[in-house]
Structure 1
Amino acid sequence: MMKHVLPVLGLSVLLTAPVAVQAEPLTIMDESGAVVTVPKQADRIAAVSLFGADLAVALDEEVVATTYLTKDTVPAFLEAELKDVPKLGSRSAANLEVLAQQKPDLIIALRRYTEGWSDEFNAIAPYLAVHTESFNESLSAVALASYMMGRQEDGLSLNDQFLYDIDAIAEKVPQEKDKKTFLFLWGSGTSPWAYYDDYATVSIMNALGVRNPLGSNPTPHDRNNFAFEMNLEKMIEIDPDFIVVYDRGPEQPFLTNPIWEELKAVKNNKVFFVKDHWMASHGPIARQVVLREAAHMFYPEIFEEVSFDAVKAHVKQAWQ
């Protein structure tokens, strides 16, 4: 048997991987404390989050339904695989009627958006609730969900490959005494949300020799406090070298604030507008794309641009 050391929420948990195909019922306690049992091999996956769809695609499993992050938009990094898959609406208000019609074997959902509907989900199919927002939670969620799909060995291989790739890319990064700074922003108002180190996307960026000046969540007792609304007056005080903005569409009033044009990153053309995978960087494909896109943003002279197809092929090689 292959053994994998998996960091989960600051701990190291030793997992012994079973064979990839499991005919017996699979049971696990998910992150809501509920016991989840899949009575047969889970071949039809419903994703009430992009995480579930990402993992299923990475393992070549069938996605029978999925929610979206941006309304009526198929995420670019999974467009080929999801363009014809029935849509359930948003991750916080999935259409249960459409979900039931797809007859899934397993529903993979984000706990924070769906826990109140657990009975309704379980009436349709086994419902697995996971946390995914932080770096360690991404690793834990991949391990839990892949186990429930009868693919624990392969899921752990995805995690191993990701950790190896971060180290390999970080080794090529110039070691600078004064690290350049960045902000990761999301929002459609006058004060965008700025993310702390705890968010998975920011953790990946921090691994590349740059620094998020906001640091960690100042209220760790509130595990959902991943960001705060930052006005432009505060932003100009920080004046980061790079700004990465999740681009949900045209309504981003903070971009028209006169202060925006005074920011160093704006003047130096170091503002990057990114798509859904940067907000959903918890799945095995999205996190690998973010890692490579971020490396190219910060060090274009060292790291080339990557294609989604190339990253998917690389991810799948971890278990094939």
Structure 2
Amino acid sequence: MNARCVRILLPALTLATAWLAPVRAEIRIRHAQGELVLPQPPKRVVALEFSFVDALVAVGMVPTGIADDRQPERIIGPLRDAVKGYASVGSRYQPSLEAIAALKPDLIIADQRLHQAVYSELQAIAPTLVVDVRSSTYQEDLETLPVVARALGKEEQMRQRLRRHAEVMDKYARSIENDQKLTAVFGVSSDKGSWLHTEATYAAGVLKRLGFDTPLKHGRNRMGSEPYVKTGLEQLLAVNPDILLLGRYSQPAQIDSWAKSPLWRGLKAVQNKRVYWVDGNIWARSRGLISAELMTAQLHSLLRQ
């Protein structure tokens, strides 16, 4: 073939190759603010809640920006190791719109409860996926993850990760084997007060997955209908779980003074040495597959002591 024929054929071959190349369909997702349309899977993602960081890492992605409260240590260890190099966009409660815009994201993932008021401003910066994680249970979070994965173009990776997660949780549940049907409650304590997590919370959902019911029923307790119930020692004694898991938010915390009271010694968990201090950052702030597995591993280890 002479050079003239090559010059004629090359443009035609290029055009044919381009025509044959698969065209990826745009991504359309129903979410809390209607329909989100993405022309292609995003590469620069800003996560405005820790649970979204967990979801991104679970499918092998690193967020460009994270609302980390300007306290990187609040991102749990395994996630922090995986997201080195991200930019902070401020508080989860009031993220900096300027910092987000400076990152030029092609997707923002926001929480319905925390960020609904600034949705329009976020959407003006980049397409914004809004889901409800702040008030979600463990099971609801599992159902939300495929929606997030679809927006990321990582549906198959998430399906595989969810299967692996189920296997991990099943293995721990069999090992723990709560034959005595012990009840368990998780709470956090700081110098400002103490809060118990009802059955409608993420931590209670993880405990239920492992076979532990909670006596603190959402909307059916004497302390109100909120999922996180501010409590005193008398109220805690009324709940009286078999196992009490506590996360500390300050040193000292209110529960340190409770431990000096005769009422404290009336708790079943105290009498049977089943009061355990756990990592409040993992148990209360970090909803997600990775954090749930860390919670489970920590509980398993404590119960075997």
**Structure 1 length-normalised TM:** 0.76
2:288 paired residue among 283, 303, 307: 283
Matches within 5 A, 1:175-194: 175-176=178-179, 178-189=180-191, 191-194=193-196
CA distance in 1, matches of 2:68, 2:249: 12
* Greater radius of gyration (CA): 2
Q: 1:274 to 1:68 in 2, by over 3 A?
A: same
Among residues 122, 135, 138, which one is paired with 1:135 in the alignment? 138
Out of 288-297 and 125-134, give the one that drifted further: 288-297
The structure that is helix-richer by fraction is: 2
Deviation readout 1:214-257 (Å, 9 max, x if unpaired) = 134439xx9x9322112111212333333222333325223223
Contact 1:45 1:52 in 2 (8 A): no
Determine if contact 2:245/2:277 at 8 Å carries over to the other structure: yes
Hey, which bits of structure 1, 4+ residues long, moved more than 4 A?
69-72
Determine if contact 2:30/2:36 at 8 Å carries over to the other structure. Answer: yes
Which residue is equivalent to 1:270? 275
State which of 153, 158, 166 in structure 2 corresponds to 1:155.
158
Distance between the aligned counterparts of 1:76 and 1:237, measured in 2?
33
State whether residues 76 and 286 of structure 2, in contact with CA within 8 Å, keep that contact through their aligned partners in structure 1.
no
**Runs of 5+ unmatched residues, structure 1:** 1-20, 302-320
CA contact (8 A) 1:42 1:149 kept: yes
Partner of 2:172: 169
Contact in 2 for aligned 1:76/1:275 (Cα 8 Å):
no
Instruction: Give distance in 1, aligned partners of 2:70 and 2:168.
Output: 29
Q: How many residues align?
A: 275
How far apart, CA to CA, are the structure 1 residues paired with 2:255 and 2:283?
20
Q: Distance in 1 between matches of 2:255 and 2:175?
A: 35
* Percent sequence identity over aligned pairs: 21
**In 2, distance between residues paired with 1:237 and 1:135?**
26
Check if 1:41 corresponds to 2:41.
yes
1:218 corresponds to which residue? Answer: 220
What letter matches 2:206 in structure 1? I
Structure 2 residue runs of 5 or longer lacking an equivalent are 1-21
Deviation of the 1:189 alpha carbon? 4.9
Aligned counterpart, 1:97 = 98
CA pair 69-250 structure 1, distance change in 2 beyond 3 A? farther
CA distance in 1, matches of 2:37, 2:157: 20
Cα separation, partners in 2 of 1:171 and 1:22, compared to 1, 3 Å: farther
Q: Decide whether the 8 Å contact of 1:22 with 1:150 is kept in 2.
A: no
Structure 1 residue 112 corresponds to structure 2 residue 113: yes
Measured in 1, the distance between the counterparts of 2:116 and 2:69 equals 18
Instruction: Give how far 1:172 is off.
Output: 2.7
Partner of 2:250: 249
Partner of 1:292: 297
Q: Deviations over 1:62-102 (max 9, x none)?
A: 21111126845342332213454211222110011111111
Inter-partner Cα distance in structure 2 for 1:244 and 1:184: 5
Matches within 5 A, 1:14-29: 23-29=24-30
Aligned equivalent of 1:318: none
> Over residues 176-209 of structure 1, what are the superposed CA-to-partner deviations in whole Å (9 max), with x where a residue is unaligned?
2x42232211243564111111212211112323
Identify the residue that residue 65 of structure 2 maps to in structure 1.
65
TM-score by length of 2: 0.80
Which residue identity is paired with 1:204? V
Deviates more, 1:91-100 or 1:262-271: 262-271
Q: Could you say if the C-alpha distance between residues 254 and 34 of structure 1 is closer, same or farther in structure 2, counting changes exceeding 3 Å?
A: same
8 Å contact kept, 2:242–2:274? no
Q: Secondary structure at the match of 2:182?
A: coil
